[in-house]
Amino acid sequence: MTTTIELRNVSKVYGSGAAEVHALREVDLSVAAGELVAVMGPSGSGKSTLLTIAGSLEEPTSGEVAIDGTLLSTMSRNEQARLRRRSIGFVFQDFNLLAGLTASENVTLPLELDGMRAKTARALALEALGTLGLADRAGTFPDDLSGGERQRVAIARALVGDRHVLLADEPTGALDSTNGESVMRLLRTASERGVAGIIVTHDAQLASWADRVVFLRDGRVVDQTLHLPGPESLLEPEPHR
């Protein structure tokens, strides 16, 4: 399998002097196409930072990040924005749909930002929404959608077009268990279609949907497991790798 997302020796430091905080310390992580990786860890362990650095929303203090083999550090700000439009999809806990746009317009947004004609983008958006069972809600504004529907729209937006990198930060955090499981199933399906995904979650049961689980503590990767013996085992990390 080809490596889609690769973090090499990535560190991130916030602040300076006495206020210095090491959010990530020399993290290495590779995600192949079609692989779904769950990132778990206590609060402040650096999970969200890892996700934002992988998605080019933040720059690492040191280390390298490569998407499809291209180093982000070699890309300009506009090239990184183009990468996010074409290759990377984000799903957030708070859905983060734009209230002024309908469900389908939210989905077409990255495509239209990338210059695709509105009609073409809308056809792709409707197809994506249809796949997620929201074809009849395409013209609805986010305020009129339920929490589960909003997150499915957010997933549709993250996957629409040729995107093959999915980064989800607590995608089920604001959902009940039924909707949460439904969302994870969708992410799993996307992964099986060849999308490389990283999911940050606190929920060990949901993490079990992933191919691999990475456990972070104090900014370090303290555990990786390929085959999950059970969610409970993740809560007893080894003291050293």
Partner 1 sequence: MSGVAGRKVIVRWTWRLVRRDWRQQLLVLALITFAVAACLFATIAAVNMPRSNTASFGDAEHRILLASDEPDAIAPVVADMEQRFGPLDVIGHTAVPIPGSVDTLDFRTQDTAGPLGAPMLALRSGRYPSSANEVAVTDGAADAFHLVIGDHVTLGSGSKTVVGTVENPADLGDEFIVSTPTASDLPESVTLLLNGHDDELGNRPGRITQLRLDDRRVTALSDTGESSERGAVALVMLSLDTVAMLLVSLIAAAAFVVIAQRRMRQLGMLAAIGANRAHLRLAMVAHGLAVGIIAAIAGNVVAFSTWFAFSSSLENLANHRIDPASDIPFDVVILGTVLAVVTTTAAAWWPARASSRVPIVRALSGRPPDPSRVHRSAAAGIAFLALGCVVLVVGIDKSGEASPYAAIGGPIAIVFGILFLCPLAIRTLGPFARRLPVTSRLALRDLTRYQARAGGALAAITLGLGIACTTIIVAAAATPPDTGGNLASDQLLFRLSGQPLMPEVSAEELARLEADVNDFAAKIGADVYPLDAVFAARPDESGETPNVGKPVIIDPRGETGQPVIMVGHRVDHGIELRNPDVPYVATPQLLALRGIDPGTVAADVDVITPESGPLVFVDLTARIRGPEDATDIRALQIDDPGYSEVPQTFITEEAIRAHGWTTRRIGWFVDSHHALTAGQRSDARDIAASSGTVAITRDQHHALGITRSIATAAGMLLTLAILAMTIGLIRSEAQRDLQTLTAAGATSVTRRTITATTAAALALLGAILGLVGAYIALIAGFSDDLHPLTRVPTTNLLTIVLGLPIAAGIGGWLLAGRQPSAITRQALE
Question: Which of 209, 112, 198 is CA-nearest to residue 161?
Answer: 112
Q: Are strands 196-200 and 165-169 parallel, antiparallel or unpaired?
A: parallel
- CA–CA dist 178, 19 (Å, integer): 41
Half-sphere exposure of 221 (CA within 13 A, CB side): 19
Single out the residue of 145, 122, 118 nearest to residue 134, CA to CA: 145
What's the CA gap between 166 and 170, in Å, rounded?
13
To 10 degrees, what angle do helices 147-159 and 118-131 make?
Answer: 130
Q: Which is nearer to partner 1, 157 or 220 (by Cβ)?
A: 157
Burial of 138 (0-12, 13-18, 19+ CB in 10 A): buried
- Select 16 or 241, whichever has its Cβ closest to partner 1: 16
Nearer to partner 1, 32 or 174 (CB): 174
Measured from the CB of residue 43, what is the shortest distance to partner 1 in angstroms?
14
Q: CA–CA separation, 126 vs 115, rounded Å?
A: 18
Contact residues toward partner 1 (CB under 8 A) are 52, 55, 57-58, 77-78, 81-86, 88-90, 92-101, 105, 108-110, 112-118, 157, 174
Q: C-beta of 220: minimal distance to partner 1 in Å?
A: 21
**Rounded to the nearest whole angstrom, what is the least distance from the CB of residue 71 to partner 1 in the complex?**
19
Please state the closest distance from residue 233 (CB atom) to partner 1, in A.
30
C-beta of 49: minimal distance to partner 1 in Å? 8
The distance of closest approach from Cβ of residue 151 to partner 1 in the complex, given in angstroms and rounded to an integer, is: 13
Of 78 and 178, which has the nearer Cβ to partner 1? 78
Q: Which of 143, 118, 146, 121 is nearest to 133 (CA)?
A: 146
Nearest residue (CB) to partner 1, 94 versus 232: 94
Residue placing its CB nearer to partner 1 in the complex, 1 or 98:
98
